[in-house]
């Protein structure tokens, strides 16, 4: 059983929802993700696999931000991709509000995705990038324009509607990418190293801003990062991964004060 730890500040509402028996959200149970090793050579006959995620269980309650933290290759992205439906589960289940997502394709999960490179559409201006998901939902133009303006303002880019993507800085691109991911009001936002390509100072500032934006929009989020400071700045709870396993999930201060194992303590450092 994974300890959920206690919340503070804006997390109190989440804690209250849990106590009421409400606040359901994402439940990952005993999930295993395996990859076939590269074909050829010795592996061809043995059908050997890499276990990227090794029986991981994790809850993310509605309105909560959970960061997955761990060194390169520990399986964070694989777990996030499995939740998104981009990787098949070798074992275990992923549910939302108790509804099993097995067999539900990526685009039907109502989850948003944001990656290290925001992958903006280069031929659309900033506003039309943000509007993309709203167009797909056939939101009428005036309502769309209002929502795009509101989202750009929320991410600190008020008035940027007509700016060409090529003229935006790295930080501005990721802000647009965040606004675009939030536009269709995803029930869960999955962020994979969204700030990693930015320099440290900007990363620190944006981590705090991402948290503010997610909280202001009441967005439930799973945030993958290898950066301790970023995880602690963004999340209500932080999950530490190593070798495909989830070692501990706890609020930042609890993780610092009471690491559950020597491995967690060593990873977090002094
Ligand atoms: N498509 C793939 N095919 C084969 N092996 C893979 C594939 N994707 C990931 N892996 C392996 O699975 C393990 C976990 O990788 P994953 O990308 O999930 O880790 P990570 O913690 O997100 O690392 P990083 O921060 O470097 O992206 C690694 O050993 C990796 O080499």
Could you read off the pLDDT of 78-135 as tens digits, one per residue? 999 999 999 999 999 999 999 999 999 999 999 999 998 878 999 999 999 999 999 9
Beta carbon of 50 within 6 Å of any ligand 1 atom: yes
Task: Give the pLDDT band (50/70/90) at residue 138.
Answer: very high
Strands 99-100, 91-96: pairing kind: antiparallel
Beta carbon of 70 within 6 Å of any ligand 1 atom: yes
pLDDT of residue 49: 86
Contact 249, 4 (CB under 8 A): yes
Across the chain, mean pLDDT equals: 89
Which of 67, 17, 49 shows the shortest CA–CA distance to 249?
A: 67
Predicted ipTM?
A: 0.96
Residues 6+ apart with CB under 8 A from 146: none
In the chain, what's the furthest Cα-to-Cα distance? 60
Task: Give the pLDDT band (50/70/90) at residue 44.
Answer: low
Strands 188-192, 111-114: pairing kind: parallel
Beta carbon of 93 within 6 Å of any ligand 1 atom: no
Beta carbon of 72 within 6 Å of any ligand 1 atom: yes
Beta carbon of 116 within 6 Å of any ligand 1 atom: no
Average pLDDT on 152-176 reads 96
pLDDT of residue 46: 61
Task: Give the pLDDT band (50/70/90) at residue 37.
Answer: confident
CA of 242 to the centre of ligand 1 (A): 12
CA of 82 to the centre of ligand 1 (A): 12
CA of 190 to the centre of ligand 1 (A): 17
pLDDT of residue 40: 59
Beta carbon of 75 within 6 Å of any ligand 1 atom: yes
d(CA 179, CA 126): 10
Which residue among 56, 74, 193 is best mutated to probe the pocket of ligand 1, counting the most ligand atoms within 8 A of its Cβ? 74
Beta carbon of 139 within 6 Å of any ligand 1 atom: no
CA of 268 to the centre of ligand 1 (A): 21
Percent of the chain with pLDDT over 70: 88
């Amino acid at each position: 059983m994974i300890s959920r730890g206690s919340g503070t500040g804006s997390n109190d509402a989440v804690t209250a929802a849990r106590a009421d028996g409400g606040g359901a959200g994402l439940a990952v149970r005993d999930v295993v993700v395996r990859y076939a090793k590269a074909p050829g050579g010795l592996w061809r006959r043995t059908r050997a696999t890499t276990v990227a995620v090794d029986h991981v269980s994790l809850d993310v309650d509605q309105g909560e931000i959970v960061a997955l933290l761990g060194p390169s290759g520990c399986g964070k992205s694989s777990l996030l991709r499995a939740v998104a439906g981009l990787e098949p589960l070798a074992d275990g289940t992923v549910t939302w509000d108790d509804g099993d997502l097995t067999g539900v394709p990526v685009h039907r999960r109502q989850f948003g995705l944001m990656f290290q490179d925001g992958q903006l559409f280069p031929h659309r201006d900033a506003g039309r990038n943000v509007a993309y998901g709203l167009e797909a939902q056939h939101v009428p133009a005036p309502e769309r324009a209002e929502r795009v303006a509101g989202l750009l303002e929320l991410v600190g880019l008020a008035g940027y509607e007509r700016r060409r993507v090529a003229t935006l800085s790295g930080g501005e691109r990721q802000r647009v990418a965040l606004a675009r991911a939030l536009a269709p009001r995803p029930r869960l936002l999955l962020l994979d190293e969204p700030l990693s390509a930015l320099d440290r100072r900007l990363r620190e500032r944006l981590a705090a801003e991402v948290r503010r934006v997610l909280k202001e929009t009441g967005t439930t989020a799973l945030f993958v990062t290898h950066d301790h400071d970023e995880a602690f700045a963004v999340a209500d709870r932080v999950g530490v991964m190593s070798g495909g396993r989830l070692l501990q999930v706890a609020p930042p201060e609890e993780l610092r004060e009471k690491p559950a194992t020597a491995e967690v303590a060593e990873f977090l450092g002094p």
